[in-house]
Amino acid sequence: MSLLWMAGALLFSVYRERRRIEDFEEVEWPEISILVPCYNEEETIEETIANLDQLHYPRYEIIAINDGSSDRTGELLVELSARYPALRVIDCQENKGKANALHIATHAARSEFLLCVDSDALLDPDAPFYLIQHFLKDGERVGAVTGNPRIRNRDTLLSRMQIVEYASIIGSIKRTQRILGKVMTVSGVIVAFRKKALVKVGLWDRDMVTEDIAVSWKLQRNFFDVRYEPRALCWMLVPETISGIWNQRVRWSQGGQEVILRHWDIFLDWRQRRLWPIYIEQVVSVLWAFAWVLVTAYLFATAETFQQMLIWFTFTSFVLVLLSHLQLLVSLKNDAKYDNVLKYYLWAAWYPAIYWMLNTFVVIAAAPKAVNARMRGGYATWTSPDRGKRSSL
């Protein structure tokens, strides 16, 4: 998969990512609605709203949804609405999840194009232009366009490792999937939707723990196109504790596995064949995680000497590190156009050992949660994530 991601990222960079000078004044831009779902975000929401108020885009409204927060988020939003005329506030009294908050905001939105932003995110001032241009240039077949999340807290080992990860894993995967024609998931932190497409597929699934993965599949199963726009930059906060990363990744993995369980029937429809490779890759990834643990345990149990175990780990570590560094070089070259990530190359030494080991156990921990959620149903509510510490870039 590393070889495939490298090839796909290079192809995307050469054929779809060449730097182009955009003249935003030549286009008559439609009004957009920026949706900001919030749950216990009193520490970040004021900064996010202030940032959105300074975008270069000519016409937009901001709709912030307080989803039953137990802190001062609701009070702060009411105060901010008096300060920023573009801001409208929806105050929900009960926490029913991000998908439900987006449902409500979509009905309240005046515009055909919706830009969904997390409540800790800071958008590049020109990001909306890059997202909306896809809808205007390529017609109603385009249902969603996802942006390029970047990390803004960079002071700790864990946050710097995630800078490497977002460049060498997430960015490369999205580029490759876009070359193949289907994208596993939009980035929930920054994504634009065509409202008409969302309404046609029934909006977001309120019983899925990751609304962004679920809606990506619904759109593509209904033959809407999902795009990736790396120039639409969004600066976000990431967890800086092992427990915070663990909880986040278990949630992501659970969401992916819930999609696998819900959309197995794509193989019954030949028209869905372009989704088959993405689905199969997800299934194989889950099986790989279980197989890796079982094979490693078996080798430990059957190794006759410590030397045999050492040889096994030396060989697998060498292959893993080599492929990871090659992938990292390709990815950092791509992302260096948007973010000063090349200086974090040395942190790649930590990346293979930590990321793959953690991800293996994350997949295993998420599997029973996904099965249970699929059987239980109901609203998929959310909890306050680990936002780390804010710092300047």
Give the pairing of strands 122-123 and 142-151: unpaired
Q: Is residue 370 part of a domain?
A: yes
Contacts of 367 by beta carbon, 8 Å cutoff, 6+ apart: 257, 286
> CA–CA separation, 63 vs 113, rounded Å?
13
Range of the domain at 49: 1-10+33-377
What the block records as the tokens of 94 is: 């009960």
pLDDT at residue 392, as a whole number: 47
- Partnered with residue 90 across adjacent β-strands are 65
Q: For residues 34 and 167, what is the distance between their CA atoms, to the nearest angstrom?
A: 26
* Spacing of C-alpha 310 from chain mean position: 37
Instruction: Let me know if residue 21 belongs to a domain.
Output: no
**Digitized pLDDT (tens) for each residue of the chain, 393 residues in all:** 778 888 888 888 888 776 665 778 888 899 999 999 998 888 888 999 999 999 999 999 999 999 888 888 888 999 999 999 999 999 988 888 888 899 899 999 999 999 999 988 899 999 999 999 999 988 889 999 999 988 888 777 777 777 777 776 788 888 888 888 888 888 888 999 999 999 999 999 888 888 888 899 999 999 999 999 988 999 988 887 888 888 888 888 888 888 888 899 999 989 988 899 889 988 988 888 888 888 878 877 776 666 666 776 677 667 777 777 777 777 777 777 777 777 776 666 556 556 667 778 888 888 888 777 766 666 666 566 656 555 545
Please indicate, yes or no, if residue 316 is contained in any of the structural domains.
yes
Calculate ∠ Cα 189-43-166, nearest 5°.
30
What tokens does 100 get? 């439900």
Q: Is 164 helix (H, G, I), strand (E, B) or coil?
A: helix
In the block, tokens 């679920």 appear at 214
In a domain, 384, yes or no: no
Looking at residue 381, its pLDDT comes to: 65
CATH value at residue 300: 3.90.550.10
Number of domains in the chain: 1
Task: Give pLDDT, residue 152.
Answer: 84
